[in-house]
């Protein structure tokens, strides 16, 4: 049976493996090569896939959609969240109330790691504070590890 997918990518989007996987600026992403890779292996008989350098997860996700049993690997922690959110996860989704938990300001003292460490480098102070808050909220107000992973994946987009 085909595994259920998070609705991040709609069912119609995965037909013929021509799915609109989010575009990223991740160096070395095989997003534009996914169709080519599939065309060159689809006639082979295999059930399992080891994606050793998983990165954006696009290759793993393509094979998962083809009902292969996929093992995703990457040594970077933010990519590990991608693997958990898109590959290991089959049916957990973020709800509107989860999004509210992530986006609202709670009665806590938020860390200011990004704001103080990266001030005036990448984003504005306001945006850095927003990131500090969202990350804290994901870690402290979302109990489900798959929801946490989905939230971090979304944040990275
Ligand atoms: C070219 S990129 C990603 C390619 C991936 N197929 C995609 O489409 O996004 C290669 C990935 O390998 C990971 N990587 C590099 N050396 C690694 C190692 N020794 N162990 C695990 N992952 C590694 C990097 O973190 C990077 O995400």
71-115 pLDDT, tens digit per residue, is: 999 999 999 999 999 999 999 999 999 999 999 999 999 999 999
Q: Could you tell me if the CB of 110 is within 6 A of ligand 1?
A: no
16: enclosing H helix or E strand? none
The answer to whether residue 3 scores a pLDDT higher than 60 is no
Residue 59 in tokens: 């290759």
Residues 6+ apart with CB under 8 A from 69: 47, 48, 49
| Closest residue CA from atom 14 of ligand 1 | 53
| Closest residue CA from atom 7 of ligand 1 | 29
Q: Could you tell me if the CB of 58 is within 6 A of ligand 1?
A: yes
| Closest residue CA from atom 15 of ligand 1 | 53
CA distance 135 to 65: 29
CA of 39 to the centre of ligand 1 (A): 22
Residue 54 in tokens: 């998983």
Q: Nearest-CA neighbor of 35 among 71, 9, 63?
A: 63
Residue ranges per domain, the chain? 1-91, 94-157
Ligand 1 nearest atom to the CA of residue 33, by list position: 8
The model carries a pTM of 0.85
Q: Nearest-CA neighbor of 138 among 109, 89, 104, 90?
A: 104
CA distance 10 to 126: 33
pLDDT at 21: 75
Residues 6+ apart with CB under 8 A from 62: 17, 19, 34, 37, 38
Q: Could you tell me if the CB of 134 is within 6 A of ligand 1?
A: no
Q: Could you tell me if the CB of 60 is within 6 A of ligand 1?
A: no
Quick one: average pLDDT of 151-155?
94
CA distance 126 to 136: 15
Q: Could you tell me if the CB of 55 is within 6 A of ligand 1?
A: yes
């Amino acid at each position: 049976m085909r595994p259920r997918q998070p609705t991040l990518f709609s069912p119609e989007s995965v037909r013929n493996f021509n799915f609109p996987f989010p575009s990223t600026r991740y160096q070395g992403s095989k997003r534009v090569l996914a169709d080519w890779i599939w065309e060159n292996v689809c006639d082979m008989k295999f059930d399992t896939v080891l994606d050793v350098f998983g990165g954006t997860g696009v290759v793993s996700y393509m094979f998962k959609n083809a009902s292969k049993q996929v093992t995703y690997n990457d040594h970077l922690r933010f990519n590990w969240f991608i693997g958990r959110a898109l590959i290991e996860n089959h049916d957990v989704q973020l709800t509107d109330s989860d999004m509210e938990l992530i986006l609202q300001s709670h009665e806590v003292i938020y860390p200011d790691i990004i704001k103080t460490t990266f001030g005036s480098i990448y984003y504005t102070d306001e945006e850095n504070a927003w990131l500090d808050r969202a990350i804290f909220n994901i870690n402290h107000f979302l109990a489900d590890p798959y929801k946490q992973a989905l939230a971090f994946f979304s944040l990275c987009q």
